[in-house]
Amino acid sequence: MIRWILKKEKIRNWLWETCRNVQEKPKMTTKIFIGISLIIFSFVIYYGGMIVCGSLAIYLKTPEIAIIGIPALYGLSWLVWLLGMYLLGKVNYIYVKYRLAIYLKNRYSPDTGSGQA
C-alpha cells in the first residue's frame, strides 16, 4: 500500500522537498520526550480502552458500559493527545514530521542508493 502511495508524483515531490528542509536536530529534552510519549499513549488509551469496555460490556451483558465508556475514553484520549502536542511544540512537531518523511523516503524509495536528497 505504501509503495503504491509513494508512486504518486505529488507525494514523492512532497517527500523530497520535506527531506531537503530538515533543520538541525533539536535536543531531546524531558518536555519533548513526555510530549511524544503522551501522543503515543493517547492511542493506547482509546484503542485499548475500547477493547476493554467492549469486552466487559459483552461479558457482563450490560451495554451501558460500552455506551458510556467508549465515548468517555475517546474524549480522554483527545485531551491526552492535545496535551502531548502542546508539550511537543510546533518546531519539534515539524522535526518529527520531517524524520518520518526521511524514513519513508529511505525505506520505500526505488532510488534509495542514488544519493539524491
Q: Is residue 117 one of the residues assigned to a domain?
A: no
Q: Is residue 63 one of the residues assigned to a domain?
A: yes
Q: Is residue 8 one of the residues assigned to a domain?
A: no
Residue range 53-97, pLDDT digits in tens: 999 999 999 999 999 999 999 999 999 999 999 988 877 777 777
Q: Is residue 24 one of the residues assigned to a domain?
A: no
Q: Is residue 116 one of the residues assigned to a domain?
A: no
Q: What is the pLDDT of residue 5?
A: 65
Q: Is residue 4 one of the residues assigned to a domain?
A: no
3-state secondary structure 26-80: CCCCHHHHHHHHHHHHHHHHHHHHHHHHHHHHHHHCCCHHHHHHHHHHHHHHHHH
Q: Is residue 39 one of the residues assigned to a domain?
A: yes
Q: What is the pLDDT of residue 3?
A: 67
Q: Which of 55, 75, 80 is nearest to 65 (CA)?
A: 55
Greater model confidence, 51 or 90: 51
Total tally of structural domains belonging to the chain? 1
Rounded CA separation 61/90 (Å): 45
Range of the domain at 56: 29-107
Specify burial of residue 38 (Cβ count, 10 A radius: 0-12, 13-18, 19+).
buried
